[in-house]
Amino acid sequence: MVEAGSLIRSLSGKTAARNFHSFVINEIGAGIVSGKYPVGSVLANDATMMETYGVSRTVLREAIKTLEAKGMVEARPKVGTRVTPPGRWNFFDPQVLFWHFDAKADERFYHSLFDMRSDMARRAATLASRHRTAEQVRVMKYWVHQIDIADGLALAAQAALEVQTAIASSSGNPLLQSGLAVVEFTLALAAQAQIAGRIEPAAASQAGLYGELVAALETSAGNDAVDCLEAIAERDRQTVFGNTAWLAQRKLAD
């Protein structure tokens, strides 16, 4: 299980400790996304996989069950464990997106995530402007301040994710909250593009955009909030696709 914020924290080298169960899930899941285990292929039998990863049958089978729950494999008696097509994968699962983040760049996939983020942003901003509470606005303002004083892009992105999380929560729509993994992926991608390109946008500029957004939510100015949240998402999209050298390098990643 990957916790919210894990992907962005990984940009600064802060990753959670692994146990055998998570190790096997990550190895197989990343292998599927990278193409090491192609769609339609059948994974090796238990004995081979146990030897490959140095784990017990119980750990291996629990890992396979977890991957089945994510829609990435299908285990059938007398057939084995087959890798399923991407159309069946749960792309709202943070761990599935984590594996895609570490894989070779896929511009079409990145665009699809930004499109989804923009669609969710419109609805989230509209609902949040109607339903936010004073306490939720206070939390948003706190994290906007953290963006302003952040020492580094990874910390600024983490604070931005907290603002986005508060907005999704204040929308009252659980589906928007479950889509936060998409938001985190795109925030992390934009931060990595900035870090790679040594682009250090003024913290005040980033905080300013989020500050305008929170101000619009506080005054229930729904249309203004929508415009602000869409502008933030589009800025991140341009940051990612504007760094062509970094994208080309990611396409060559192992």
Q: Which pLDDT belongs to residue 6? A: 86
Q: Which pLDDT belongs to residue 203? A: 46
pTM of this prediction?
A: 0.89
How far, in Å, CA of 69 to CA of 95, rounded?
A: 12
How far, in Å, CA of 174 to CA of 86, rounded?
A: 24
Return phi, psi of residue 81, to 5°. -105, 110
Q: Which pLDDT belongs to residue 202? A: 46
Q: Which pLDDT belongs to residue 88? A: 97
How far, in Å, CA of 237 to CA of 114, rounded?
A: 7
Radius of gyration in angstroms for the set of CA atoms belonging to the chain, rounded to a whole number: 20
Residue type at position 132: R
Supply the DSSP symbol for 89: S
**Mean pLDDT of residues grouped by 10 in the chain (254 residues)?**
79 65 93 96 95 94 96 93 97 94 94 96 97 97 95 91 97 95 96 79 70 97 96 94 91 75
Domains of the chain: 6-88 (1.10.10.10), 104-251 (1.20.120.530)
How far, in Å, CA of 174 to CA of 205, rounded?
A: 30
How many angstroms separate the Cα of 118 from the Cα of each of 43, 169, 225, 230, 234?
A: 37, 17, 13, 6, 8
Sign of the C-alpha dihedral computed for residues 149, 151, 152 and 155 taken in this order: negative
